[in-house]
Amino acid sequence: MSGERLLVDTNILIRMFAGEKAVVDFLAETDIHVSFVTEIELLATSKISTAQFKQIRAFLDQCLIIGAEKKVREYTIDIRKQTGLKLPDCLIAATAAYLNMPLVTGDKHFEKLSDQISLFRL
C-alpha cells in the first residue's frame, strides 16, 4: 500500500470487506493504518468464518497497527472527558490525533472531534 496515509475505522473496513465499491475505490492506493482496537473488533467476533478470519488477518498484516502508546492513552483520556464517546471510539480517535492523520469513518459521532482531528466520512 502506498499513497496517502489514513487511519481507518472498523466500520470502513467492514464495508471494504463487504465489497462496497465507494469504500474500495476510496482506499485504493492509500497507506492504511489501524488502531489495535480495530484489529480486535474485526477478529474477535464469532460472526466470521475461518476463511474470513484469514482474509482479514492477511489484510491487517499489510497495515501498520498502532498500539496503546502513552500519548494515545493520554489523548484517549482527554477525548473521553470532553465527549463521553465510548472507549473504543475514543481510542481510535486518539490514535488519529497521535499520528496527526485523517480518520476515515462512517460514524457521525466523531464529528464532535472535527476541531481536533481531520475526518473523512464515507
Helix %, strand %, coil % of the chain (to 5): 55, 15, 30
Q: Answer whether residue 17 shows pLDDT above 60.
A: yes
**pLDDT band at 2, cuts 50/70/90?**
low
**pLDDT band at 61, cuts 50/70/90?**
very high
pTM as predicted: 0.92
* Amino acid of residue 111: E
> Alpha-carbon torsion 37, 38, 43, 45, what sign?
positive
Q: Is 32:63 a contact under the CB 8 Å cutoff? A: yes
The three cell numbers locating residue 110: 466523531
pLDDT in tens, 79-102: 999 999 999 999 999 999 999 999
68 burial level (CB within 10 Å; 0-12, 13-18, 19+): middle
pLDDT in tens, 22-45: 999 999 999 999 999 999 999 998
Q: What residue ranges do the domains of the chain occupy? A: 5-121
The H or E element that residue 23 is part of is: helix 21-27
At the topology level, CATH places domain 5-121 in Rossmann fold (3.40.50)
Q: What percent of the chain has pLDDT over 90?
A: 91
- Note the pLDDT of residue 1: 47
